[in-house]
């Protein structure tokens, strides 16, 4: 059984050995750069773990894992243009280090390269089945990004809208990674779908946790500024739930905060005070737990002995309770 | 035998019947808009014609044709951002009509949708073979676009560099469309490669002709301003060859023109006068003819009776001599 740590290590080695170079260099250097910025390698490692428990051939699993990771990095390169984000993992984004046009076009090539990795699969029927899952997911990830951008100016965003957005933007790619790993291992359709649902539910839980940590992480260990989402008026689960539950005076203060009445530090303090009054942290943890438990229930339905699935349980729990 | 006109008509009908709608609308409306801007439908029509002469099944050929056309439109949507082009076929570009971020992301979804059309092919082995041709071509088209952008600031651009750029940016997608049509019809590898070479050579010839027409078309029928490339200092075959052949005084005048010494009208007049002195129009036509003839020689190698291939000869000749 492959632990997350082992899977991560295998992904890192495969990426280090991969050659993304090409001509013109302006188009391929950003791919090498982007793929070597590091990161958790969550998606490809989960793919390898799912492949491992279904006893898939390693080279096929590694190629699919890299396809998923290259695709994920493509979305980051294009998202960073849209968000005008200067930094990614502490280093210049492609858009900043080169320029907008190179970020657009080298992103496009990354998408092509992602598909190249899937095209290494065989037999052809498996290649076709896997690409159908991948391609459906690719469209969903774009849909999620567009929803996220729409939310910035959209007046009314419901909790259901928000959950759908994070499902599309984040969760379905985790889910697809797990499913593709299982498919390469020859899992039944039922098992492949159960492991997909596991990924989808824990993906939603992880994103809810990200929202929570952005406001409530320990600032000494968080690695970025606590309250960044609050400062940016980001419509997270926390803020949307607060708007749902606030009384008239809390609503007025929330609106004052959003409309720029206070400096950043004071704004974070006031919004968190309202969150605390409304028990948003507890509601948030409950919500995470609901999705997490649904994920675990889906994993339990996968028709393999519990010990085979333990590494997936372990990493899900580790990620879920890392800082809560 | 399918004429180009008939193939065009079939493509138009298939596009009119296709449904590109989806949610969020911001992401899918630009796809419908872009696909309905019109255009020559050269690539999908050539694919249908190649499929027809190899007696491919029509639904498969139509799906692949639409995949090629959606991909082509994706490249236009992203290119228009990079070129900051306000108009495409006389209407607002996606980037102008919506905004940059929507153009990036709806372009990305168009790429996904292009692959969706190929994923409808079967059996799986054909799907895999076709996608490998398509995906290799997709990377090459991006390479060509990057080379084109590099040329804007690159001091030394050789004729060979330029031919490589137009081959990648334009010709290989025509070539791949023809090859994929042939593959769907079950053509042998040899025939598929010959028809690819036909497309590649005539694609280069067409682009050289575009360069020529930009400076020498009849202004009454050209539909856009004659001399646009000269005004924009675009490093076309004409300009690069002129730099190769110019004597000292001609070189000095060319440089004056490029460095903005004259108003647009005067600049076009002076550059064209140098072109004429250096017999660039004739050299250009010779160059076109060389590639065109190589294309015809490749088509001749396709192991089918001449009458089967006549429609491809007809459209190639029609396009080649449309305005020369």
The pTM (predicted TM-score) of the whole model is: 0.96
**B121 Cα distance to chain centroid:** 24
Question: So what's the pLDDT on residue A221?
Answer: 80
Query: Using only C-alpha atoms, what is the Rg of chain B?
Result: 20
Query: Which pLDDT value is given to residue A8?
Result: 98
HSE value, Cβ hemisphere, 13 Å, CA-based, for B154: 16
Average pLDDT, chain A: 96
Tens of pLDDT along A139-180? 999 999 999 999 999 989 999 999 999 999 999 999 999 999
* Cβ contact B105–A150 (<8 Å): no
B interface toward A at CB cutoff 8 Å?
22-24, 26-27, 78, 81-82, 100-102, 104-105, 107-109, 111-113, 115-116, 119, 122-125, 127-128, 131-132, 135, 138-139, 142-143, 145-147, 149-150
Sign of the dihedral defined by the CA atoms of residues B38, B44, B46, B52, in that order: negative
DSSP string, A80-145: HHHHT--EETTEE-HHHHS-HHHHHHHHHHHHHHHHHHHTT-SSHHHHHHHHHHHHHHHHHHHHHH
**pLDDT (tens digit, 9 = 90+) per residue, B198-252?**
999 999 999 999 999 999 998 888 877 889 999 999 999 999 999 999 999 999 9
Q: So what's the pLDDT on residue A1?
A: 86
Tokens of B104: 């990036």
Nearest C-alpha in A relative to B114: A135
pLDDT at A223: 74
Structure tokens at A271: 């919004």
**pLDDT digits 0-9 by tens, A35-45:** 999 999 999 99
Residues of chain A neighbouring B25 (CB-CB closer than 8 A): none
By residue count, chain B amounts to 324
Q: A318 preceded by cis ω (within 30°)?
A: no
The stretch A214-220 carries a mean pLDDT of 90
pLDDT at B322: 66
The yes or no reply on domain B1-139 and CATH 3.40.47.10 is no
- Chain A nearest CA to B128, separation (Å): 6
Mean pLDDT of the A45-51 span: 98
Which positions in chain B touch A123 (Cβ < 8 Å)?
124
SS3 B185: coil
CB atoms within 10 A of CB A90: 9
| Enclosing H/E stretch for B159 | helix B159-166
Asked if A147's CB is within 8 angstroms of B24's CB, the reply is yes
Q: Which two tokens stand for residue B193?
A: 């490669």
A197-236 exposure pattern, b = at least 16 Cβ within 10 A, e = fewer: bbbbbbbbbbbbbebbbbbbbeeeeeeeebbebbbeeebb
Q: Cα A129 from chain centroid?
A: 23
Is residue A323 predicted with pLDDT exceeding 80? no
Provide the pLDDT confidence category of residue A322 given band limits of 50, 70 and 90: low
| d(C-alpha B25, C-alpha B29), whole Å | 6
Cβ <8 Å between A24 and B116 = no
Residue listed under structure tokens 């491809």: B312
pLDDT band at A282; cut points 50, 70, 90: very high
Residue B324 has pLDDT above 50, yes or no: no
Is the pLDDT confidence value at A324 over 60?
no
Per-residue pLDDT reduced to its tens digit, B66-90: 999 999 999 999 999 999 999 998 8
Judge contact between A320 and A206, C-beta under 8 A. Answer: yes
pLDDT of B323 above 80: no
Question: Could you tell me where the DSSP H helices lie in chain A?
Answer: 4-17, 25-35, 42-53, 58-83, 94-97, 100-118, 124-153, 159-166, 172-184, 189-216, 219-222, 228-231, 237-245, 248-258, 264-277, 280-301, 306-320
Quick one: pLDDT at residue A218?
87
Query: If you average pLDDT over every residue of chain B, what do you get?
Result: 96
Summarised one tens digit per residue, pLDDT across range B9-65 is: 999 999 999 999 999 999 999 999 999 999 999 999 999 999 999 999 999 999 999
Look at B142 and A113 and tell me if their CB atoms are within 8 Å: no
Preferred mutation among A23, A104, A149, A162 to probe B, highest tally of B CBs within 10 A: A104
Q: How many CB pairs under 8 A join A and B?
A: 114
Q: Which CATH class is domain B188-324?
A: mainly alpha
Shortest Cα–Cα distance, B123 to chain A (Å): 8
Supply angle C-alpha A131, A133, A138, rounded to 5: 90
**Which residues from A are below 8 Å from B141, CB to CB?**
none
Domain with CATH 1.10.600.10 in chain A: 1-139, 188-324
Provide the shortest C-alpha distance from residue A128 to chain B (in Å): 6
Phi and psi for B211 in degrees, rounded to 5?
-60, -45
């Amino acid at each position: 059984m492959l632990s997350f740590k082992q899977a991560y290590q295998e992904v890192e080695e495969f990426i280090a050995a991969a050659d993304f170079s090409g001509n013109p260099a302006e188009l391929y250097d950003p791919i090498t750069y982007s793929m070597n910025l590091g990161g958790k390698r969550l998606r490809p490692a989960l793919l390898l773990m799912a492949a491992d428990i279904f006893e898939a051939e390693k080279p096929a699993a590694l190629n699919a894992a890299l396809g998923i990771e290259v695709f994920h990095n493509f979305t980051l390169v294009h998202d960073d243009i849209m968000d005008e984000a200067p930094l990614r993992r502490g280093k210049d984004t492609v858009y900043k280090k080169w320029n907008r046009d190179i970020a657009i076009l080298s992103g496009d090539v990354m998408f092509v390269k992602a598909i190249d990795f899937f095209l290494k699969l065989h037999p052809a029927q498996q290649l076709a089945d896997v690409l159908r899952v991948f391609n459906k997911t690719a469209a969903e990830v774009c849909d999620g990004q567009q929803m996220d951008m729409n939310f910035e100016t959209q007046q009314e965003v419901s909790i259901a809208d928000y959950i759908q957005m994070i499902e599309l933007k984040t969760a379905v790619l985790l889910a697809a990674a797990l499913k593709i790993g299982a498919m390469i291992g020859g899992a039944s359709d039922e098992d492949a779908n159960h492991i997909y649902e596991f990924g989808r539910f824990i993906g939603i839980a992880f994103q809810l946790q990200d929202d929570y940590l952005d406001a409530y992480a320990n600032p000494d260990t968080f690695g970025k500024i606590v309250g960044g989402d609050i400062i940016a008026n980001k419509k997270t689960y926390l803020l949307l739930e607060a708007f749902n539950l606030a009384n008239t005076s809390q609503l007025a203060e929330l609106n004052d905060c959003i409309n720029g009445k206070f400096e950043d530090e004071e704004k974070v303090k006031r919004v968190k005070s309202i969150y605390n009054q409304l028990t948003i942290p507890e509601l948030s943890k409950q919500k995470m737990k609901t999705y997490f438990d649904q994920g675990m229930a889906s994993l339990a339905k996968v028709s393999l002995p519990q010990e085979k699935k333990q590494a997936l349980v372990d990493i899900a729990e580790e990620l879920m309770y890392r800082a809560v």
